[in-house]
Amino acid sequence: MSIKTALPAAELGLYSLVLSGALAYAGRGLLEASQDGAHRKAFRESVRPGWEYIGRKMDVADFEWVMWFTSFRNIIVFALSGHVLFAKLCTMVAPQLRSWMYAVYGALAVLGTMGPWYLGLLLGHCVSLYVASLLGQPWLCLGLGLASLASFKLDPLISWQSGFVTGTFDLQEVLFHGGSGFTVLRCTSFALESCAHPDRRYSLADLLKYNFYLPFFFFGPIMTFDRFHAQMSQVEPVRREGELWRIRAQGGLSVVAIMAVDIFFHFFYILTIPSDLKFANRLPESALAGLAYSNLVYDWVKAAVLFGVVNTVARLDHLDPPQPPKCITALYVFAETHFDRGINDWLCKYVYDHIGGEHSEVIPELGATVATFAITTLWLGPCDTVYLWSFLNCFGLNFELWVQKLAEWGPLAQIEASLSEQMSRRVRALFGAMNFWAIIMYNLVSLNSLEFTELVARRLLLTGFPQTTLAVLFVTYCGVQLVKERERTLALEEEQKQDKEKPE
């Protein structure tokens, strides 16, 4: 049942007021907890000196964020700046050779960073999947790709292959896993596209130009080969009107997000507090709920910043990279929950959509989700936490379809048809609110720990029942209503735009 009626202004105002007040109240509790815990012994390893002139320490529990903006910052700036300058020069002098120049620059950067043996190792994987693509068997290409991926995720092969990296430095392990994993996914995409389009005769050179494009090489995102090849093959690419302004805006937003996170980490220790369960257990329920929510928001911001920086460079090269992840605040369905849209696109195209079809039947959907999360488990690195995270999210995705099928069942469908559009929206928003917290709980398992997830669930659902449970559910319900109203507005705007573009 589609909802076309807008919410009354008074109701929208009430939802906004409730949501804003709840976030402010939870934020105040987290700020007080951060101040109280700044000098705890358990915080010493992850709360380090920061802005001493105002007496604020900084949460450094996320080694990835600290790595990017300390030891890796200069390398990122140097490598990407060199790529941008090199790309600009090539576009001016020989635009028809730009894909070759990008590949040469990327291969030289990998050679200088990781050594010739590592470069040779990756070339070996590229050649093996290229040879498999010549046989034209998709199952063989996908199987070999997964085997190659497993060799970088499971011992003893991972230990043997890591020995191909020469020298030792702080970022060696991160760059090894990033470059290797994304190389395998890119090569598998190339092989599967070659099987799907045997008439196009892609060459090994096409694969190397695709794989060694430096902005995407170590950290993604993944662009499927068909999209990358089509965009990079344009001899004289032309920018759309206003595109440079959008690129500058994206770059500016990335800088603002980095500054906001830096400020946030000096006042809210959202990553350190969950590691001290005794301290976290003393938090009021509102602050604990805000802490769980903040962890997911931060993980989204981190992904958005990383892909925002890389995508800005890619757009300067006339590419249209995968979109950044959808904000967790705007999510209330498992089907849209992903923090890396490039890998999500890869999985959907080659596994999830291929097996699940229209995603409207229970059995094919179950098979599609199991296969998708099995590959996701391999990508993340098999371990108990990843197994649990995959199982929970796989269950959530299927449970949504089961509930949808139940809602389409005759008696229930008749009941909803008898409801007004506003009431139908409210019922759906209530289910969306419960689903939103299921998404938070399931992902806290991988973002923090199973113990912290159990603490949040116990405090919010058991010891806090019914007051805290209903209060948190009502606040989330208000947020879902606002998101639904935003979606309705965007849908109407899109319909109006399409109507204007239709010939009279």
- Domain extents in the chain: 9-54+248-330+419-495, 73-232
pLDDT at 5: 58
Beta bridge partners of 78: none
For the entire predicted model, the pTM comes to 0.90
Per mean pLDDT, which range of 69-73, 129-133, 144-148, 465-469 is the poorest? 69-73
pLDDT band (50, 70, 90) for residue 2: very low
Residue 332 Cα distances to 51, 329, 457, angstroms: 37, 8, 18
pLDDT band (50, 70, 90) for residue 131: very high
Cα 22 to Cα 482: distance, rounded to the nearest angstrom: 15
Nearest to 171 by CA among 301, 257, 74: 74
CA 269, 271, 275 angle in degrees (round to 5)?
Answer: 105
Cα 475 to Cα 285: distance, rounded to the nearest angstrom: 13
Cα 241 to Cα 247: distance, rounded to the nearest angstrom: 12
* Whether pLDDT at 7 is above 80: no
pLDDT at 447: 87
Q: Name the H helices within 317-383.
A: 341-347, 353-356, 362-380
Chain position carrying tokens 């009107």: 241
Residue 425 Cα distances to 16, 75, 339, 428, 475, angstroms: 17, 50, 27, 5, 16
* Whether pLDDT at 471 is above 70: yes
* Whether pLDDT at 504 is above 60: no
pLDDT band (50, 70, 90) for residue 1: very low
Cα 234 to Cα 247: distance, rounded to the nearest angstrom: 20
Cα 117 to Cα 76: distance, rounded to the nearest angstrom: 22
pLDDT band (50, 70, 90) for residue 30: very high
